[in-house]
């Protein structure tokens, strides 16, 4: 959530940056400032009224002590009116504050200055590419056909048990999935991230804290009776560890990693482009989360990008990195880099990781602060990234490593799988 003080002091900048998201925010930002002015005015009136009421209460006490009962009783009538007035002002203030907060919840983060303006993924900028696209044999298959051929993923069984988008991994497919999780976690912990095992259900406050609510309420599975939500990513429970926390400056950065299943309704997702593992309602992901000093967060973002590059280099998968345009950047992010692996059998790029800097947007919602050297509390910066999302990495491995003899396992994973080929 954007800070009101920042909006007041940088009105033109906020409007200009939100235009990168194709949002005309002039009226909305004007409303924020008007609501805030009303709130400040009401707060000042309430403070004045309460101060006067307290002053008169003390004076009444002194009058009773001195025997001036009639004068004291006259003032009591005045304090009664002041109490009614303060109650009315408090109700108006609460109403105005709630309206301001609801409006702020609707405003996305402002994009970083280097974010390109654009409408969709077609306007994203490719900034890096690496790896050689393999030349497959003439009978090469997409991963959903390979999964059926080698009996390693059963999409129909998952559909029977739950529904579309809930695959069942079997045999070497399940072991390869487990190997990827262990490999990603080992890489992350070796890089200085502390591993956490996190809840898969979160409360409403946690969803609001990271920006999934109220913006993406329709995309989250909701357990209505308990008002809990299945997590769309480990980012939500992981970042909420620090909700209402004040860290010492010497404690920064905080770096955590965790594996979780993730759940997304993906309403309206149909067609060949979401076939197989390309888009699921339940999938596994290993996440990176960082809490950073504001002056070091973009250096940390670059470090996270380099970390994921190293993983893909070891997996020997062809990939590229995109800087997302304003229209494709998530609600809470200031700057996002997407990693995509090339699926040779499908002849298309598949997104496998998003790495984002949220600056103070999440921290403001979370009330996540650090105490600077002067003893003043300031908002920290939060970052997160997939390291990595498994379905499309697995799809990339199955398709790009297929041979006529079977699917070769990348060298770096063979000590985890215990086998070198799926045949």
Place of tokens 């009538």: 77
Is 287 annotated for ligand binding? Answer: yes
Residues 364 and 379: their CA atoms lie apart, in Å, by: 7
Is 384 annotated for ligand binding? Answer: yes
Q: Kindly state the helix (H) or strand (E) to which residue 42 belongs, with its residue range.
A: helix 26-66
Q: Confirm if 271 and 237 have CB atoms less than 8 A apart.
A: no
Is 352 annotated for ligand binding? Answer: yes
Is 397 annotated for ligand binding? Answer: no
Residues 129 and 419: their CA atoms lie apart, in Å, by: 30
Q: Confirm if 238 and 287 have CB atoms less than 8 A apart.
A: yes
Residue 156 region by backbone torsions, left for phi larger than 0, else alpha for psi between -120 and 50, else beta:
alpha
Is 264 annotated for ligand binding? Answer: yes
Spell out where 45-193 has E strands: 125-130, 153-154, 168-169
Tokens of 163: 């529904």
Helix (H/G/I), strand (E/B), else coil: 73: helix
Is 266 annotated for ligand binding? Answer: yes
Which residues, at least 6 apart from 17, have a Cβ–Cβ distance to it below 8 Å?
110, 111, 113
Is 241 annotated for ligand binding? Answer: no
Is 138 annotated for ligand binding? Answer: no
Residues 178 and 183: their CA atoms lie apart, in Å, by: 9
Residues 264 and 217: their CA atoms lie apart, in Å, by: 11
Place of tokens 């940088």: 10
Q: Which residues are annotated as a binding site for ATP?
A: 264-266, 351-354
What are the binding residues for L-serine? 233, 264, 287, 384
Binding annotation:
233, 264-266, 287, 351-354, 384
């Amino acid at each position: 959530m954007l800070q009101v003080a920042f909006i007041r002091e940088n009105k033109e900048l906020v409007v200009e940056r939100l235009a990168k998201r194709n949002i005309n925010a002039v009226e909305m930002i004007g409303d924020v400032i008007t609501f805030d002015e009303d709130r400040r005015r009401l707060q000042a009136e309430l403070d004045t009224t309460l101060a006067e009421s307290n002053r008169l209460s003390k004076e009444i006490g002194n009058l009773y002590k001195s025997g001036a009962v009639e004068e004291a009783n006259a003032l009591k009538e005045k304090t009664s009116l002041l109490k009614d007035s303060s109650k009315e002002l408090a109700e108006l203030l609460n109403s105005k504050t709630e309206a301001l907060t609801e409006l702020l919840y609707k405003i996305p983060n402002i994009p970083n200055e280097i974010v390109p303006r654009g409408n969709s993924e077609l306007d994203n900028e490719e900034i890096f590419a690496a790896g050689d696209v393999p030349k497959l044999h003439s009978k090469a298959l997409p991963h959903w056909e390979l999964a059926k051929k080698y009996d390693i993923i059963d999409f129909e069984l998952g559909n029977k048990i739950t529904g579309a988008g809930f695959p069942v991994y079997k045999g070497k497919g399940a072991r390869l999935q487990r190997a990827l999780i262990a490999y990603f976690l080992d890489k992350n912990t070796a890089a200085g991230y502390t591993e956490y095992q996190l809840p898969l259900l979160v409360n409403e406050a946690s969803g609001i804290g990271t920006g999934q609510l109220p913006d993406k309420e329709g995309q989250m599975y909701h357990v209505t009776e308990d008002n809990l939500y299945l997590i769309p990513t480990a980012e939500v429970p992981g970042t909420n560890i620090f909700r209402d926390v004040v860290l010492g400056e010497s404690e920064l950065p905080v770096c955590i990693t965790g594996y979780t299943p993730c759940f997304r309704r993906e309403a309206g997702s149909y067609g060949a482009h979401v076939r197989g593992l390309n888009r699921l309602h339940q999938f596994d992901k290993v996440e990176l989360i960082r809490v950073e000093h504001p002056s070091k967060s973009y250096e940390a973002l670059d470090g996270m990008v380099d970390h994921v590059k190293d993983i893909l280099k070891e997996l020997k998968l062809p990939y590229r990195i995109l800087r997302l345009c304003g229209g494709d950047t998530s609600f809470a992010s200031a700057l996002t880099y997407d990693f995509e692996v090339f699926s040779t059998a499908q002849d298309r790029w598949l997104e496998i990781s998003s790495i984002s800097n949220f600056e103070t947007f999440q921290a403001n919602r979370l009330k996540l602060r650090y105490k600077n050297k002067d003893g003043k509390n300031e908002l920290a910066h939060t970052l997160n990234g997939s390291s990595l999302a498994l379905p499309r990495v697995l799809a990339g491995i199955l398709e790009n490593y297929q041979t006529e003899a079977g699917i070769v396992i990348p060298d770096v994973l063979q000590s985890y799988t215990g086998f070198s080929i799926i045949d």
